């Protein structure tokens, strides 16, 4: 079902007038984690003011260590939904387990599957019937074929609104957190009709690389970007402050991107 042979035309996912896929460029921006109502409200305001369409933010965070901040949980979902409503943005949040799919689907417009869960097949099956579009992140050691097979689990359940996300893979290089695989963008678009979103934040792990890699992703044909932005990155509650743009940088990036593709 994910294959272009099966479905030659690009899939365009229309969420309350925001079209994802085809010629459109969708911008998802926001913090790694929802921290407080004030934090997410202010960041939502800034994302909207810069021209983004989707507010990102994790209420449940998949952390490498069990003692790190794990996210604010269900309350974060309501904080984010409220900020999205107030500022006229769609919302995207990560869901980590099948049990939480329903509550996340109730509060968010798009559900994100994180890199660590790309092959959590129970989760993928549940997302097949969740009634919300899904952004499926590539596993950090997954091949294109494995990513497309993971998407197939969601599609097979009846949910045809799946976006693929390149978020960097693990290589021998340690200077960057991951290696953003730009080739994934045209390869996945050749193999599949599903929209391809690039995540230059996790793909590089370094703030100064987000702008060039965001532009490179758009030049390579990405249908959208998901970018971390924070009003106070140095004091953010996850380690991802180092890769989060300041609001001014996010704004400038969107001004530059408008010259490359229509943000609609
Ligand atoms: C995130 O989007 O904050 C995140 C945890 O992403 P990934 O699953 O790509 O690491
Ligand atoms: Mn993050």
Decide: 203 and 167 in contact? Cβ < 8 Å. yes
Cα 240 to ligand 1 centroid, rounded to whole Å: 9
Q: Which two tokens stand for residue 64?
A: 């490498």
Cα 241 to ligand 2 centroid, rounded to whole Å: 8
Cα 193 to ligand 1 centroid, rounded to whole Å: 23
Percent of the chain with pLDDT over 70: 100
- 25: DSSP letter: B
Matching residue, tokens 């926001």: 30
- Burial class from Cβ neighbours inside 10 Å (0-12, 13-18, 19+) for residue 63 reads middle
Q: Which helix (H) or strand (E) holds 104?
A: helix 101-107
- For residue 134, the tally of other CB atoms under 10 A from its CB is 27
Question: What ipTM, to 2 d.p.?
Answer: 0.99
Pick from 191, 193, 186: nearest CA to 166: 186
pLDDT exceeds 90 at position 262: no
Cα 114 to ligand 1 centroid, rounded to whole Å: 5
Q: Which residue from 56, 58, 138 has its CB within 8 A of the most atoms of ligand 1, so it is best to mutate?
A: 58
| Ligand 1 nearest atom to the CA of residue 240, by list position | 3
Closest ligand to residue 56's CA: 1
Q: Distance between CA 164 and CA 150 in Å, rounded?
A: 10
Instruction: Look at ligand 1, atom 1, and give the residue with the nearest C-alpha.
Output: 32
CA distances 215 to 37, 148, 180, 195, 211, Å, are 31, 25, 13, 17, 6
Decide: 157 and 128 in contact? Cβ < 8 Å. yes
Q: Quote the distance between the C-alpha of residue 134 and its chain's center.
A: 9
Confidence of residue 210 (pLDDT cuts 50, 70, 90): very high
Q: Distance between CA 50 and CA 253 in Å, rounded?
A: 9
3-state secondary structure 180-248: CCCCHHHHHHHHECCCEEECHHHHHCCHHHHHHHHHHHHHCCCCEEEEEECCCHHHCCCHHHHHCECHH
Which residues are within 5 Å of ligand 2 (an ion), measured at CB?
Answer: 32, 240
Mean pLDDT of 207-213: 98
**pLDDT tens per residue, range 77-116:** 999 999 999 999 999 999 999 999 999 999 999 999 999 9
**pLDDT tens per residue, range 33-43:** 999 999 999 99
Pick from 5, 3, 111: nearest CA to 58: 111
pLDDT at residue 260, rounded to an integer: 87
Q: Distance between CA 118 and CA 137 in Å, rounded?
A: 6
């Amino acid at each position: 079902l994910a294959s272009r042979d099966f479905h030659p035309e690009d899939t365009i996912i229309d969420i309350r007038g925001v079209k994802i896929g085809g010629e459109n460029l969708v911008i998802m921006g926001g913090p790694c984690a929802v921290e407080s109502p004030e934090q997410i409200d202010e960041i939502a305001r800034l994302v909207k003011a810069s021209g983004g369409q989707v507010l990102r933010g994790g209420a449940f965070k998949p952390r490498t260590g069990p003692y790190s901040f794990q996210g604010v949980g269900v309350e974060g979902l309501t904080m984010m939904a409220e900020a999205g409503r107030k500022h006229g943005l769609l919302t995207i949040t990560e869901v980590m387990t099948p049990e939480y799919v329903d509550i996340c689907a109730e509060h968010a417009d798009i559900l994100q599957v994180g890199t660590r869960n790309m092959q959590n097949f129970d989760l993928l099956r549940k997302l097949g019937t969740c009634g919300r579009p899904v952004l499926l992140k590539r596993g950090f050691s997954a091949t294109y074929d494995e990513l497309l097979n993971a998407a197939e689990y969601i599609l097979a359940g009846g949910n045809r609104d799946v976006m693929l996300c390149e978020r960097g893979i693990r290589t021998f290089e340690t200077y960057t957190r991951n290696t953003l695989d730009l080739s994934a963008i045209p390869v996945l678009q050749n193999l599949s009709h599903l929209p391809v979103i690039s995540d230059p934040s996790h793909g590089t792990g370094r703030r100064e690389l987000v702008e060039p890699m965001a532009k490179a992703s758009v030049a390579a044909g990405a249908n959208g970007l998901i970018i971390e932005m924070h009003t106070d990155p140095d004091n953010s509650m996850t380690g991802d402050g180092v890769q989060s743009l300041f609001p001014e940088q996010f704004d400038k990036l969107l001004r530059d991107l408008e010259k490359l593709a229509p943000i609609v």
